[in-house]
Amino acid sequence: MKKQSKRGLTVSITMLVVVIIISMAAAGAWAMFYVGAGNSASIDNDIFAVKKGGFEIVVPTSGELAALRQIEIKNRLETRATITEIIEEGEHVKKGALLISFNDEDIRNKIKDADDALDSAINSLENAKANLEIRKKTRESELARAELEITLTKLALLAWREGEDVTRRQDLALELKTAQMEYDRLQVYFEASKRLFEQEFISLDEYTRNEIALVRAESNLKQANLDIDVYEKYEYLQDREKKESDRKQAVDEQDRTKQRYDAEVRSAESDVRSAERMVESRQERFDKWTTQLELCVILAPSDGLVVYASSLSSGGHRGSNEDPPMVGTDVARNRTVIVLPDTSQMIAEVKVNEALSGMIKPGQRATVVSDALPDTVLSGEVMSVGVLAQTGGWRDPNRRDYTVKILLDDFALSLGLKPSMRCRADIKVGRVDDTLYIPIQSVFRQGPVAYAWIPDGRGYSQTEISIGQASELYVEITGGLNEGQVVLMREPEAKEVASRLEIPETGPNYGNAPPLNRSMTESSSPPEQHVEAQAAPEGERPERSRMGRGGGRPTAEQIQEMMKNATPEQRAAWEKRAAERRNRGGDRRSDGESEEKAGEVSPDGT
């Protein structure tokens, strides 16, 4: 009975072992079938079955979040600006909220002085205007008087010409005629008296009186003729010249009066203009200080998040030692104190290597992940690509990156994102469909030859492949592999290598392009360089030297060979460049940097 029980137990154990072995065999067969069918699942973590389908080509980038619109709050005061009140950083403010107030005592004193100066200028202007009116009225009065004088002289000339002259001529003519008649009468009378005297009818005395009367009449006649002659030759001309001279003097006096008072009016008008300019200047000064007084209180022009300028970058580098503004801080003129980003619409500002910038176009879709919310994927659209590239600074002066702005969709509004948060972005630049592809880490390079490791009976062997487009994860296979064929996703160990390709030497190792999988997986290389290596068509991928960039450096024998084959000009250039580096590096680099850079060699061998 015991024997029978023991035999049954043995049979049960045997059957259990057989079932386990059969199950393991079935699982292995199912796995082999699953790989052969081309399923995307890998047998283990190191191998991958060639898959047929499609994948998106994206450019991975990194950068930080920023507000689409932001307002800089600056100190616009021209005098000393001392903060008396400032809002706390990080607060969300509404339009019209108080942000900063500055000490306004000095400005109020300047306003008082400007107001007094303005009043004085206004009084001067009023006096100048009153003086101008007086000058104008005086000019009008004097010109009217001069015009009257001209009129009077004209009338006097007419009165003399048509009155006095005619009357004078008539009087002279009358006197001449009367003297002539008197002379003729007395001459006849004298002749008669002479005969009567001779006949002694009259006395000698009477005769003498008649003779005297004739002589007087003759004298009067001569005088009358003389008066006419004097008048015609002298008095008439004298009177005429005097009257015409009076008229001309009146006209000239009018011109002089006009010029004199015009000059006085112009002077008065100039005084008015000067006074007006003075008022304008004083008014502008008063308005300026009044505006400055208003600028002592700065209100939020829009809704936004309060960020101190001291918290932002200085020239693009963070960590400045500038103290945050506070009560009592003096702020320089035009200095930015606060930045108000409008967080209602955010963008991602990311850097793209210059080799990939041509692939980025406005309108392309992108996904963005903020370091603050690593589990939340945001979508967006490329807004713009920078016009000019930015250098990598002193750390990498040969690097050139373009800034790409990605506008995030409205979904980002509810996440509480803030400017300057670090982020990563994948920009979708294309897609490959209906093609064979493998992971990027399964592709290797030696010179111009791309190859993959495939399982062999004894381990893994190299097989040459042709590649097409690539993303940050997958590479298109255009030849050398079949769907479902298994490839290794790492460099095999030496004991795992079954066979290698016979690849002809193309020059020193440092002159060949780096292995594709290494350039795609090195943590020290930026994502943009990864995509650059993936996306280049087969045969056109640039063979960039890795000397002095963390890759392999040339050996001493290689350097000697290069120096041996170099021209004298090349040797002189290398020696000069090395001396310049030593001079620059001795003063600036730290001990650690000096040790790190000491063995670097440039691509040209220096």
- Would you state the pLDDT for residue 482? 92
Q: Of the given ranges (105-119, 175-189, 270-284, 411-425), which has the lowest mean pLDDT?
A: 411-425
Residues 6+ apart with CB under 8 A from 280: none
Q: What is the pLDDT of residues 209-231, one digit of tens each?
A: 988 998 998 899 999 899 999 98
Residues making up the chain, counted from first to last? 606
pLDDT at 45 over 70: yes
CA distance linking residue 130 with residue 128, whole number of Å:
5
Is 90 exceeded by the pLDDT of residue 268? yes
Indicate the residue type of 238. Answer: Q
Distance of CA 577 to the CA centre of its chain: 39
Percent over 70 (pLDDT), the chain = 74
pLDDT, position 473:
83
End-to-end CA distance of the chain: 92
Q: How many CA atoms lie within 13 A of 201 on its CB side?
A: 6
Asked if residue 1 has pLDDT above 50, the reply is no
Domain with CATH 2.40.50 in the chain: 71-101+298-341
- 374-413 pLDDT per residue, tens: 888 999 999 999 998 888 777 788 888 999 999 998 766 6
486 pLDDT exceeds 90? yes
- What's the whole-number mean pLDDT along residues 511-531? 36
The pLDDT of residue 553 is above 80 = no
More confident residue, 558 or 156: 156
Fold for the domain defined by 71-101+298-341: OB fold (Dihydrolipoamide Acetyltransferase, E2P) (2.40.50)
Q: Has residue 597 got a pLDDT over 50?
A: no
Q: Which amino acid is at 594?
A: S
Residue 563 pLDDT level (bands cut at 50, 70, 90): low
352, 63 Cβ separation under 8 angstroms? no
pTM recorded for the entire structure: 0.49
Neighbours of 285 (CB within 10 A): 18
Residues 372, 376: Cα–Cα separation, whole Å: 9
Q: What is the mean pLDDT of residues 341-362?
A: 88
Mean pLDDT of 318-344: 82
Round to whole Å and give the CA distance between 359 and 428: 10
Q: Is 342 exposed, middle or buried (0-12, 13-18, 19+ CB in 10 A)?
A: middle
508 closest CA partner among 552, 574, 571: 552
Q: List the one residue out of 567, 571, 568 whose CA is nearest residue 605.
A: 571
Q: Across the strands, what pairs with 86?
A: 100
pLDDT at 467: 92
Share of the chain above pLDDT 90, in %: 36
Q: Are 304 and 272 in contact (CB under 8 A)?
A: no
Residues of the chain with CATH 1.10.287: 107-294
- Percent helix, strand, coil in the chain (nearest 5)? 50, 25, 25
Is pLDDT at 40 greater than 90 in this prediction?
Answer: no
Mean pLDDT score across all residues of the chain: 78
Beta bridge partners, 62, equal: 351, 424
* Cα distances (Å, whole numbers) of residue 326 to 77, 284, 336: 17, 32, 14
CA distances from 513 to 543, 545, 575 (A): 4, 7, 27
Examine the pLDDT at 34 and tell me if it is beyond 60.
no
Cα–Cα nearest to 530, from 487, 490, 470: 470
Q: What is the pLDDT of residue 292?
A: 92
The model's confidence at residue 120, banded by pLDDT at 50, 70 and 90, is very high
3-state SS of 390-452 is: EEECCCEEEEEEEEEEEEECHHHHHHCCCCCCEEEEEEEEEEEEEEEEEEHHHCEEECCEEEE
- Amino acid 546: pLDDT: 35
Whether the CB-CB separation of 372 and 419 falls below 8 Å is answered with no
Give me the pLDDT at residue 346, please.
87
The arithmetic mean of pLDDT across residues 176-197, rounded, is: 89
- pLDDT for 581: 52
Q: Is 224 exposed, middle or buried (0-12, 13-18, 19+ CB in 10 A)?
A: buried
Query: Hey, what CATH topology would domain 107-294 get?
Result: Helix Hairpins (1.10.287)
